[in-house]
Amino acid sequence: MTYTTRTEGCDSLRDALVSTLAGSFEQHGFRRSEDVNGLQFVLNLTNAAAPTPYRRRSQSVFVISVLSIPGPPADLRSFCYASLVRSLSNLAVAIVPPRPDHRRLDGCEIYFTTPEAGFYHLPYEANAVFERVFPIATAHYATNNDLVPDLPERYWHGSAAVEDVRRHGAVLDRMGVLPLPFPLDSVLSPDELHHLYKIFGMTGLSYGNLSARERVSEFSNGSFWMTARGCNKARLQGAGRDVLMVREFDFDRGIAHVSMPPEGEPRARVSVDAVEHALIYETYPGVGAIVHVHAWMDDIVCTPQNFPCGTRELAEEVSRLLDDTPDPSRAVIGLKNHGITVTGPTLADIFERFQGRLKTTVPMFS
């Protein structure tokens, strides 16, 4: 597997950290390459004053931007998030030295920021930094859609399950757990925003998603309705628009087979987390509905890694954790530094369990 680097100017702390990081990746079988085809990830060496992006040719390339911030601003979280989106990255690694003239990595604090609004930090230690970067750099996106007009006619105008998804989308919106972490349009130009949405597979209205199983006799057992990417959960349009039928999922190729009615929206794409929902429906026949929000609940199990949204690795880890719960069809799994995925026999059952337990702040673990 290959990676490449893109470097702007020089910065001793940043360059030292990247050289150590690259060395660790090479020990794990990665090779640096100038050939952009087949790249797994890019180390983008940028700067805090004006972070700039590596322009990917393919969505499946992960970009890790590294920068140093010698005089950190009071609101470091917003600063790091703005650097992440300006550099169009999947992860921003920011080095904050104890004093502006400090020249060694030892003694620096390392801050990690992800598009899922993850923000956590630890004192510099080469291995610890590598362990945080590795799962993000080496994950595999499974967010492609294949829209096929093969939805049986009786579902063209929806079903009880579609209405259930629409109703609960509005409830979720009222609960205030679908926030954007940062007003993106205040830091990005329309062109950058467009590129960002393409990379992260969103259109910026809100986070989170809902789905409900629909057993369609013509389809395999795992079919379900799910909210589309970047739609407004408060006012979900119906089948083939904001609520899409995932007939099945090709896990090897990372493609959702989406069954459309003839009048469906050709630009619609199912939520990037369809891979996770599909794996759960396929594995646990008792699961009838799934909700994912950037919120938290006490006393839940949590994934040890924070894999990006829409990756095969995240789906597999959530499914593995469900296996260890007393009842996988009624469980809550914490996604580290990100949010929760909740299963239930129905959406109503899940929302009942939210009552008084849902916390809007996601705890961060380094």
With beta carbons less than 8 A apart as the criterion, state whether 68 and 95 touch. yes
Nearest-approach distance from CB 182 to Zn ion, in angstroms: 15
The total of other beta-carbon atoms located within 10 Å of residue 294's CB is: 22
- The helix (H) or strand (E) run that includes residue 24 is helix 12-27
257 vs 292 by CB, closer to Zn ion? 292
Q: In 3-state terms, what secondary structure has residue 212?
A: strand
The distance from CA 68 to its chain's CA centroid, rounded to whole angstroms, is 25
Planar angle of CA 227, 232, 236, nearest 5 degrees: 60
Least distance to Zn ion, CB of residue 117, Å: 9
Nearest of 245, 268, 266, 255 to residue 153 by alpha carbon: 245
Q: CB of 272: closest distance to Zn ion in angstroms? A: 8
- Nearest approach in angstroms of CB 19 to Zn ion is 33
Q: State how far the Cα of 154 lies from the Cα of 217, in Å rounded to an integer.
A: 12
Residue 332's beta-bridge partner residues?
342
CB of 352 to Zn ion, least distance (A): 22
Count of residues interacting with Zn ion (CB under 5 A): 2
Residue 147: both structure tokens together: 């829209």
Question: In the stretch 123-162, what mask flags binding to Zn ion with x, by CB under 5 A?
Answer: ----------------------------------------
The answer to whether 41 and 50 are in contact (CB under 8 A) is: no
Nearer to Zn ion, 82 or 309 (CB): 309
CA gap 44, 47 in Å, rounded: 10
Phi, psi of 170 (to 5 degrees): -65, -40
Nearer to Zn ion (CB atom), residue 244 or residue 309: 309
String marking each residue 221-240 x if it binds Zn ion according to CB under 5 A:
--------------------
What tokens were used for 208? Answer: 């989170």
Residue type at 167 in one-letter notation:
R
Least distance (Å) between residue 201 CB and Zn ion: 11
Shorter beta-carbon distance to Zn ion: residue 339 or 344: 339
Which residues in 296-355 contact Zn ion (CB under 5 A)?
A: 309, 339
Closer residue to Zn ion, CB minimum distance, 261 or 339? 339
CB of 147 to Zn ion, least distance (A): 23
* Nearest CB to Zn ion, comparing residues 3 and 354: 354
Toward Zn ion, which CB reaches closer, 14 or 277? 277
Do 2 and 28 form a contact (C-beta atoms < 8 A)? no
Q: How far is the CB of 202 from Zn ion (least distance, A)?
A: 10
CB nearer Zn ion, residue 48 or residue 309: 309
- Nearest distance in Å: CB 292, Zn ion: 6
Nearer to Zn ion by C-beta: 196 or 309?
309
State the distance between the two ends of the chain, measured CA to CA, in whole angstroms. 27
Strand order in the sheet with 243-250: 144-148, 255-259, 243-250, 224-227, 209-213, 289-293, 339-344, 332-335, 301-302
Question: Hey, what's the torsion of the CAs at 84, 89, 255, 210, to 10 degrees?
Answer: -10
* Distance (Å, whole) CA 35 – CA 256: 29
The residues that touch Zn ion, with contacts defined as CB under 5 A, are 309, 339
